[in-house]
Every structure is written in structure tokens, then in C-alpha cells.
Amino acid sequence: MKNIFEIVQEVLLGADKYQSEDNNLLKAKVYSDIMMMDEELLSLLLSNERIKEEFFTKVKNTLIFDKQKFAWLIESKEFLPDSYTRYSNKIGLTSNGNFISQKNDVVLDFPYKDCYLQGGQDKEDQKREEIFYHETIANDEVTRMLAPKVFTNAKRYTKGGIEENIEMKDDDNLIIKGNNLIGLSSILKRYEGKVKCIFIDPPYFFNKTKPSDTFSYNSNFKLSSWLVFMKNRLEVAHKMLSEEGVLFMAISDEGAHYLKVITDDIFDMENFIADVTWESRKSVSSDGLFSQNSNHILVFAKNKNRIDKNSFRLSLDIESFKYDDKDGRGKYRLEPFDAPNIRKNLSYKIINPNTGEEYYPPVGRCWRTEEKTYLDLLKDGRIRFGVNGTAKPQLKTYYLEAKESGKGKASSTIWHDVTQSIIWQELDANTNATKDQMELFGETVFTNPKPEDLILRAIELSTTKNDWVMDFFMGSGTTQAVALKAGRRFIGLEQMDYINTVSIPRLQKVIEGEQTGVSKNLNWQGGGSFVYCELLENSKELIDEIQNATDATITDIKEKIYRDERIVPYITRDELEAIDVEFEKLTLEEKKMALCALVDKNKLYVNLSDIDDKAYNISDKDRKFTESFYKREV
């Protein structure tokens, strides 16, 4: 029996206007006629009872054509598919739902050449490409996949060396190697509601590949998949945050506004704090219509009503308190005595006692206090009329009093027309962060890394000592390095292999007291520790084999995959072998994609519930650490 796709194709090809010279269907012409409600097209569709039943509804003896539903069919992957889609459809691997609104889908990502990440390079023309493969998984398949996992290869890094055979302690900093969505789900119960700050620099959605960016994705990583990919992780991140917690996301122009909308849905629009504009490069490029010199930092609160305005401040800069009257009060700085507002009781005449000149608040502003309070401040020596005593009134703010009250500096805000942007211009641009990499590693291991003082600003605004800071796209470990230097506890997740060649060595150098980034400003002398562990792999090793396949080895790997018990359970070996002729028509990359899709995502890593299964041969050391992490009795 023919399916609806085959029936529609057959009917449409029966009309000359929809048939090309080489007897292929002119989909663009069909789509245009759908939008125009072309009479000839409608008559053609009504000539077939199956199509009539599928796309027409009878309302009071009138047939209504479901134009949108028919357009979806024409645009779907299943209609006139390419060779890869035909192969996938025959073994039931495609999903009919392609919309973000279907919120139960999950997008995973694994090393594979579908979309790729440039993990490091020595020179601009010698890039090492780290690969990502992504797949959308239906909700009914993910429960087991996102269950807590067994950990392996756990060790604690300290200034005194590396400790083996360890147990997890409550105050241990944590680094996990493995898929970040699965890793987040594994640690959720332990850290839910405890994280004060999350800073992430996720892989961006790009319309085209940009080799200058850290994460460069080809067109196979579609916007819809990227948004689901981000949504999955942000939903878990939302649970991780404390009620006073804050999320910071670094993102480019191309993805910022889409990401804002999806995060509004998860965090609620009322909890949006700011769209920070960070000047990420100093030099001007003439490659495009505009020189792209900035990135966005989207800032959301878990519960904006729980954010204390006086606490959400940058640390006081003692160097700005440069005046001292030697009266025992210590150093102070001068601040304007006027404020934005118009209030009658705050608008009065002030006379400069040194010159007799009269002052009123500037247009649209008022004084900061009522007149009686101003006179008390003047009598107490807390008002100064400029450095030379000849200017308008200014308020003395003493460092010791400001520090005691917890009042730091608010992040600067600049208004342009009706849109607000918060510009963090004084921060290091990426070039300085690149210099830090050269000093640490003797080479540039990431393009356009985020500078440490950018991360520090986010941490200072949202946390205090010993608070938890998380980054689940940790990359080179900048967030974790800054958190350690700033006296915060941290959690990091990364699945790429450079975690052991870049991220961990960097954090070891931080423990040893390296002096790059914000080290000097924070008087960092070294110290601290962290625990490193990995999600214990199961079927993920099959993904790794597929990734490394060549034209010469792909057939042998295919045969191994077909025989392996870790592929999806609803496809038999006989069914796979029956369509081998379709598989052989695929390109190498399409073959890899097809084989990756066969791997059972429920078996990527070993579940905690299977820790006693002898088939996995869990070592005593791994069992000890895993049980201590989940606080279970051994």
C-alpha cells in the first residue's frame, strides 16, 4: 500500500505544469500554487480520494482545504527525500516533528563530522577540528538516557599532587568529562537549587561557517535544532540555580535574539535582567558592512525579585577613593549630589559657602536629599564644592563606610534612543585573553577565548565567597579558573578530549599560582583543589569508532554496528541487511550519520542503576567514588 507521500507525488506528476524536463517534480511551483490556492491544483488534489480525505475537511457541505498541512507535507524530509533520508526512513530513524514548540524533543551532541568545533590550533592555517554530531531524540526515549550515570577515573588535583581512589566531599570543586546534557542530569539531584552563577559561552548558531570563531557550525546544524539543543540544557540549568541565582550567556548577534526568546520561555520574561554589550575586539574589520566588534551577554535571574540591588554590584575599587582630609574617616571619592528625578521637596537653592554662588538641580534632575539632610551633611563636612571649592556641590563617599554597607559600583548603563545597552568597554578584549593562552601554553589553543575579567565581572555581580559557579560549556576552563581565584566553588562539564590537554592543565597552573588574567588584581597566590571524573562510557565508544572511520574501514565498522547489542532495539539485523544497497549509495559522511543514528542513546553511558551488573565490570575504585557522589551506601 502506497503512503501519502507517494500518492501525492504520483498525482502531482500527472500534471505537466508540475513536471520538469527530466520528469522530476517542480516542488517550488507546487508550493507557489499552494500559497495562491490555485484552482487547477485544488481540482487535481480533489481527484484523489486519499488526498481529499487527508487534506480537505467538510463544513456544511463545503470542502475546506488545509493549505498549511499540505505545505508541511511538501516541505517535509519524507517528501522526495535524498538518499540519506530514504535510508533513514526505511529503518525508522526520522522524527516527523520538526518544531521547537514540541518541547519534549531532546538534542544531543557527540563528536562527529556533522557540525564541528575547532578545539585548538597552532597557526591560522593549521587548525585541529574537533567534531560534533547532533541528533534529536523523542521524549519517550530519553528517560533512561538522562538517568544518573556511573563515574570513572576520578581523581583530586591539589597543590601537593594528584590523589587517587577518592570519595566526593561536599565542598569539592568538580569537573566532569562527558556529554553535558547527560552530565547535568546526573548531578542535578546533588546541586539542584544551589548554584549562584552560571556563565556559559555556548556554541553559536551561524548562518554560515566562520573559521574565526571558536565554535564553527556548518549548515547541517539548523536554527531549530540549535534552539532545542539550548533549551534542553537551559531547562536543567534553571533547576540548578538558587532562587537568587543568575545566568550569563555570551552569544553573537546571529543567535542572541533567538536565544533571548527561548530563555524568556524557560526563565519567564519578568526575570530578564539585561542584554549586556561587550566590546570583544578593538580593531576594525572592513570585511562586512559593519565591523563586528561586540558580543552579547544575556543576563537572566532565577527569580528577579530575590536579587538584592545593593548586592548586585561590582567590587569597590579602592583606587577611586583618592581623597583624604586626614580627619580619621579615611579615603573618599566625590559623587554628584544631583540625581535623576523631579521632586519638589528635593529642588531647592544651594549656596556655595566659598564663593556665594547659587546652584539649583540641573534640568530634569533633583538633589539627592531633602534640604534639612543636606544642611546636616554640610555641617558634618560631607559636602565638597569641587576639588578647588569653586564648583557645584558633591557628596563625599567614604571607602570604609561603603565597604561596610556592601555598596559597590553598579554596572554602567548607556541609553541610545529607545533601546538600552550596557557596555562593558573597559574589559579586556579577546586579544588579551589570547596573550594569556600563549603565556600559559606557549600556543593559542582556542580562537577568541573569553578574557578572565569578563568572567570576573559576572561572578562579582552575582556571588560572594564560597558560592557555586557553573559552566557546562567549559572549553579551556576560564570560568573555573576565575572562580578558583575569586574564592568561589565551581562545577564544569566538557566532552571534548582537550579537557585533558588544555582545561585540566590550565587549572593545575592556577592551583600552582599562575599570574595571568585577573591573578594580580586578586592577589592570587595559588592553592585550592578540584575533583575530575568521567561518565563511564558504554555505547559511546561506538560513536567514537564511527567518528574515526575512513572509506577503507566504514564497511567493517558497519558490520560491527549491525551485530552489536547496543543499537536501537526496534531494528533487526535482517532489516538492516535488506537495505544495504541503499547504504552503499551514501557518502562517507552520510554513512557515519546513519550509523550514529543506529546507536542506542539510552546506552551511551552506564546508568547508576546498573552499577551492580557484572556485565559492566565496575571497579571498586569507581564504585567507591560513584556511591560517595550520590551519597549512597556502598
Domains of the chain by start residue, with CATH: 4-80 (no CATH), 90-145+537-603 (no CATH), 146-157+176-206+215-308+424-535 (3.40.50.150), 318-405 (no CATH)
Measured between alpha carbons, how far is 130 from 216 in angstroms, rounded to an integer?
Answer: 10
| pLDDT, tens digit, 9 for 90 and up, residues 54-100 | 889 888 888 888 888 888 787 665 676 655 555 555 554 433 434 34
Bin 193: left if φ > 0, else alpha if -120 < ψ < 50, else beta.
left
Q: Which of 117-126, 150-159, 424-433 has the lowest mean pLDDT?
A: 117-126
- Residue 210 has what pLDDT? 44
- Residue 556 has what pLDDT? 94
Residue 158 has pLDDT above 80, yes or no: yes
Residue appearing with cell numbers 553598579:
410
Residue appearing with cell numbers 548531578:
187
pLDDT confidence tier of residue 414, bands split at 50, 70 and 90:
very low
pLDDT confidence tier of residue 630, bands split at 50, 70 and 90:
very high
The counts of H helices and E strands in the chain are 21, 24
- Residue 579 has what pLDDT? 80
Q: Which of 119-123, 211-215, 342-346, 573-577 has the lowest mean pLDDT?
A: 119-123
Residue 208 has pLDDT above 60, yes or no: no
Among 153, 113, 154, residue whose Cα is nearest residue 131: 113
- Residue 604 has what pLDDT? 85
For the chain, give the percent of residues with pLDDT over 70: 75
**Cell digits for 123?**
597557526
Question: 338 φ, ψ to 5°?
Answer: -95, 160
Please state whether the predicted TM-score (pTM) of the whole model is above 0.85. no
- Residue 599 has what pLDDT? 87
Question: 292 φ, ψ to 5°?
Answer: -80, 100
| pLDDT, tens digit, 9 for 90 and up, residues 497-550 | 888 999 999 999 999 999 888 888 788 999 999 999 999 999 888 888 998 899
